[in-house]
């Protein structure tokens, strides 16, 4: 009997990724020139896609309250869209619920022993159920990288489907932690493993923001292409969330151009695409205000209610 490594088998099935080629492709996004009304549209769209995040040991109910306030009212000028969600630890979900329940801003909670995922399955499942019970609309889980890298794909997928079931009606976001998978082939493989377990509208997400390297145009592109291939093969629309490392409005626009040119118009909304970020929001606001007033505003004219990754 010929025994093959399961990662190689999967890559044979879904096709490989060439590193030099994909990086050349995404470099073209950075040369697009977005001006005037198209810039305004992009900035507003990006603002509406932010999962405003705080994930720190020092998070408190008060800190979360101010994050929620910022999410609901990012700036004191009219017409600025609200962000998509606040993204917090499970223990903070019930505090956030007091401020944003009943508003368009959703509560996303990381769970499953975020960021490492190194806890017994029972514990991780319990964490998901508790977060949902406390009011989380979305659960950001981490995949079992240990199982992935040792080729135990059934285990990876079984866990994802267990978390999906535990989510009930809440949306699931599957964090691949791309920097720990390292290669584009691995990222594509993990994307497919996850997507095959997901419902339409669930997300795959690049990273936790807790490692040295997070969302890049390269890993974003690999995942967008995986979503496209999965959609064309099955009809299931999976959403995407790059997280960590996107700090400037300019970067956010480049990521959105990748969405526009890879998945098209149907993914250019906050049900299909999100940014996991905190510092990004104020830069988007700064650029929006620059477009509105014609001049750059001082940094202190934007409220600082988020920090983290």
Q: Is-catalytic flag, 140?
A: yes
98 labelled catalytic: no
Q: Binding to other proteins by residue 233, rule CB under 8 A?
A: yes
Instruction: Identify which of 199, 194, 251, 201 has the alpha carbon closest to the alpha carbon of residue 32.
Output: 251
* Strand (E) or helix (H) holding 173: strand 171-175
- Among 17, 46, 50, 132, the residue binding other proteins under the rule CB under 8 A is 17
- Residue 33 within binding range of other proteins, rule CB under 8 A: yes
- Smallest separation (angstroms) from other proteins to the CB of 246: 18
Which of 140, 185, 283, 305 is catalytic? The answer is 140
Half-sphere exposure of 236 (CA within 13 A, CB side): 18
Q: Residue 138 in contact with residue 107, Cβ under 8 Å?
A: yes
Candidates 38, 60, 123, 307; binder of other proteins (CB under 8 A) is 38
256 binds other proteins (CB under 8 A): yes
Rounded CA separation 10/190 (Å): 9
Q: How far apart are CA 129 and CA 124, in angstroms?
A: 9
12 has catalytic annotation: no
Please pick, among 185, 202, 241, 305, the residue that the annotation labels catalytic.
241
Q: Which one of 91, 268, 291, 303 is in contact with other proteins (CB under 8 A)?
A: 268
Distance between CA 243 and CA 278 in Å, rounded? 10
Stretch of 159-167, 175-183, 225-233, 278-286 lying at the interface with other proteins (CB under 8 A) = 225-233
Stretch that binds other proteins, among 57-65, 110-118, 201-209, 254-262 (CB under 8 A): 254-262
Location of structure tokens 């096709």: 15
- If the CB atoms of residues 28 and 101 are measured against other proteins, the closer one turns out to be 28
Nearest to 222 by CA among 25, 33, 6: 25
Residues 6+ apart with CB under 8 A from 292: 77
The site for other proteins (CB under 8 A) is made up of 15-18, 20-22, 24-25, 31-39, 41-42, 45, 225, 228, 231-235, 256, 260-261, 263-266, 268
């Amino acid at each position: 009997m010929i025994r093959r490594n399961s990662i190689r088998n999967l890559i044979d099935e879904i096709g490989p990724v060439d590193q030099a080629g994909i990086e050349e492709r995404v470099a073209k996004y950075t040369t697009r020139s977005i001006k005037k009304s198209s810039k305004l549209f992009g900035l507003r769209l990006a603002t509406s896609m932010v999962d405003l995040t705080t994930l720190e040991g020092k998070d408190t109910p008060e800190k979360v309250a101010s994050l929620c306030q910022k999410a609901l009212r990012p700036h004191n000028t009219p017409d600025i869209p609200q962000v998509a969600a606040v993204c917090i630890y499970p223990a903070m979900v019930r505090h956030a619920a007091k401020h944003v329940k009943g508003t368009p801003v959703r509560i996303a909670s990381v769970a499953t022993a975020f960021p490492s995922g190194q806890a017994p399955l029972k514990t991780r499942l319990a964490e998901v159920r508790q977060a949902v019970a406390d009011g989380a609309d979305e659960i950001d889980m981490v995949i079992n990288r240990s199982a992935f890298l040792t080729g135990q794909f059934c285990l990876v997928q079984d866990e994802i489907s267990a978390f999906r079931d535990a989510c009930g009606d809440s949306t699931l976001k599957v964090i691949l932690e791309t920097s720990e998978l390292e290669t584009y082939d691995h990222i594509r493989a993990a994307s497919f493993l996850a997507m095959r377990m997901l419902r339409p509208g669930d997300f795959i997400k690049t990273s936790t923001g807790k490692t040295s390297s997070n969302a890049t145009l390269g890993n974003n592109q690999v995942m967008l292409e995986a979503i496209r291939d999965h959609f064309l093969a099955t009809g299931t629309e999976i959403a995407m969330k790059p997280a960590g490392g996107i700090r400037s409005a300019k970067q956010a626009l480049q990521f959105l151009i990748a969405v526009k040119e890879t998945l098209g118009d149907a993914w250019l909304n906050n049900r299909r695409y999100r940014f996991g970020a905190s510092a990004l929001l104020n830069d988007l606001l700064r650029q929006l205000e620059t477009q509105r007033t014609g001049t750059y505003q001082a940094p202190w004219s934007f409220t600082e209610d988020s920090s983290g990754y």
